[in-house]
Structure 1
Amino acid sequence: MKKILFEAHNSNMSTGFGQFNYHLLKGLFNIKYNNSKIIVHTDTISKFKKEFKNFFGYKYYWGMYRYERFRISKEYDVWHSLNQNTKILPKRNLPYILTIHDVNFMEEKSDEENNLKRNKFFEEQLSMADIIVYISEYSKNQTHKYFDIKNVPEKIIYNGCTIKNKLKNLVNPGNQNRPFFFSIGNFLERKNFLSIVKMMINWEDMDLFIGGNLDTPYGEEVISFVESNDVKNVILLDKISEYQKQCYLEYCEAFLFPSISEGFGLPLLEAMKFEKPIITSTKTCLPEILGDAGYYFTKFDAETMKIDVEKALKDFKADPQDKISIMKNKLEFFTWENAAKQYAELYDQLLNAK
């Protein structure tokens, strides 16, 4: 049987890449893709084997594979790099699929040396690619803005919703007497959490919970602002479990997602699953994913954001079924099985060509 190497070593489920890797594998498992054997390159073999048994093959990830002289030389029929940030590349030339989530590194502040190294790896990936997949129209346009793309097939394959069924026994995690908003994501500057924290200062009868890794410079900045301004109605949760996340989604008044730079925005689909009012930004791919299933911040000053949220809540409560109907239609489209079927077609295309 022909073999496909899945370069999926980032399996940390608290990251977007980890979520993508796991759910794409689960989608391929659910559609029973068996035209070839997928070999998963990861350092968490036991986790995948526990769920998928021997449906997939496995290759253990070693950090030394990042260095050119130690690159994987074994012959595979197709190599799929599941994100643009990987430094694990094949030693020999073979059919290569590259999935690009975003090229936000071109717009973020970082030192020049790191940018040069990152660009070098990414340009090498682009030169190898026989097919390039983007997770949104925005990520495609962003990539073309900064890089010259050779004449190869390009395809947009949207992610699916990571929550297929709600967990049981979800309990209200907030103060029982106070309604609350919820948001989630890694504490990076582009997530723009500080804007909704400032919005909450004059919102005395509402709380805000934010989940995500606080151990970042931006996380420290947000913590410092909350403490120095004694913002008692903002609770920074740090990392939370899947169960905790679903509890907050189940009982929140609205899901706030003020991010100004996203390749896709998976949390929007998760909030749709819980049929919550969603207020997000008009930046990057977010309108492409949310469409008219939610609402948008018109500005990022505290006063305007509060007005935007109040208007959204009022509109949603006036006719919730209108938005919920749109959400349900979107969730039928954004599934990992749909994504897996489209990737399977690409694998078969390259395998047959070979």
Structure 2
Amino acid sequence: MRQFRDPRTGRLITQLTDRGNNVHLYFTENSFDLSRPEIIFRSDRASKHERAPHENPHYNLFRLNYHTGEITQLTDEDHPVGSVTKTPDGELIAYLTAGKVKLLDTRTGRISVLYEDEGGYNLYSPSISPNRRYVGFARNERVRAVNTNVNYGGFKESFYQIKDGRITLARTDGSGYFDAYCDTHWLGHFQFSPDDPTLAMFCHEGPWNLVTQRIWLLDLVARRVRPIFRQDEQDSVGHEFWTRDGLIFFDNRGPGHDGTITSEGTQAVVKEPAPSEFRPYVGFVDRDGRLVRRVEMPYYCNHYHANPSNTLLVGDDAECLVLIDISTEQASLEVLCQHGTSWHTQASHCHPTWSWDGKRILYASDQGGRVNLYLLEL
């Protein structure tokens, strides 16, 4: 590890990793351990191959103590580890690899296979229920559109071609799995409610300006869905996640925004947004679909994450991480640091996330050519 001062703000930043590519959990999840000074992350440091972030690095799972710098390898998979989720205390970790959903019990080291696809579907967005009985995930039919993971390649094509998307639940005891919901859209961002194992959220994936209803709440008992935040014609909505108190956060950028950023600093699908008087805002919705808070933004970031009390947001704009105070009616912005990432792949997106106690922010950047992890303490 090394520490340095941000050249723009003077804030002290700790670079946690310095070899290979290192990627923390997606911003809808949380890499931090609830009770120990540790994070869970993916890295190709043990692969014995030097690969750029877009060259399909062979990732495995690791644990890092950000006080001591000690890193422990947790898996040794023959194929790269993809999306990852875990329980807040880090005891159970679910991950995707080679069409399988696997569950690691970090107390015993035991790894079990909960689901194995026969080749017809791609798997996305695993999530562990709060009662730890299920790992839920989205799976979508394989189509001819190839998502290269570089600058959202295949993003629009996948949106139009995928007509069979499913939410599947696998039992953590290994006794089987079942489809809880089937749809005619590309599904993603599956997330169990933080406090109710019978409720989950998912999205209709694709360019935000083309998706007419992004966020859906799934009742896993009744097997019914209902829209969360009903969209109008001008709404372009995305980057939804559950807050600690059980609300659903979303970002609404208005017409002409596809929710992406490329390494050229442009959108991937919308090339020339039409002029609009729409003012971007973020919102908090309850599980009945009521908009309980709307915070107008005179700017927008690529991702947001809320602190435990929903009074602060961390966001990543094109060049910097920013802290946004939303504790009052008018949001105020403070630059935290320059992140220096290229935005070339999903792995190099900053995806800043708060620690469970709201004292630290973890983010990624590929400045220097490889993805590394950085920690900022407030």
TM-score, normalised via structure 1 length = 0.30
TM-score, normalised via structure 2 length = 0.29
Q: Which has a greater percent of strand?
A: 2
